[in-house]
Structure 1
Amino acid sequence: MSKKKLSSLEDLGGFVFSTNNSFEFESEENTNTLEPSKQFLEALFSNKGRGGKTVTVITGFVGNETDLKALSKLLKTKCGVGGSVKNNEIIIQGNYRNKIMEILKKEGYNVKRVGG
């Protein structure tokens, strides 16, 4: 099995190296989640890079990963479909942009439709 060559520091997977003995790592888990009325989310439809499968992507969430996953679960349950959370984006299988926008507005989020 051949070893993969590293082309940048990002290939290390987010490791931080420091020679400072008093360095304290700040985790993103401690980020406070903004209340829904202060969130500005974007809902877009995409099928690029997914083998022709259509998905609805929700971006712009500000907060910790636990709350993002809870919002994702709510949307997947209400739409009755699968999905995932990757790179701080909620990915819902299928073109449910209008339905998701209605659900998010009822929850108090500010949602903007992006793209056609």
Structure 2
Amino acid sequence: MNEEQQNQLLEKIDKRIAERLAEQSKQIDKRFDDVDKRLDRQDEDFAEISTHLNARIDGLEEKLDTKADKERVYASLDAIMNRLGHDEAERAAVTSQVDRHETMLQKVARRLGLN
């Protein structure tokens, strides 16, 4: 195999690698878009829940007369807030993972000269 054939073979290999990376990049982008959509829906749901809970809490505060009732309600609210905090931490972790993947893909693209 002469040098020209080697160069042609290397060009074909480079082209196939670039095509596969582009395809995988599109697939990863689509998956990240899907995750973003789900997180956006969760944010909207949490905003709705928060608004609803605030309205209910305001109504309950007016009706509660005894300290025991108030303590029970506050314990329930603390549990809900704790759950919301965990969900927020999970969203932050997913966002961080998306950022790491994006950085990695950019490095791979630069090394392959796809920029």
Give me the TM-score of the superposition, normalised by structure 1: 0.25
**Structure number with higher relative contact order (C-alpha < 8 Å, ≥ 6 residues apart):** 2
**Structure whose residues are more often helix by fraction:** 2
Give me the TM-score of the superposition, normalised by structure 2: 0.25
**Structure whose residues are more often strand by fraction:** 1
Q: Which has the larger radius of gyration?
A: 2
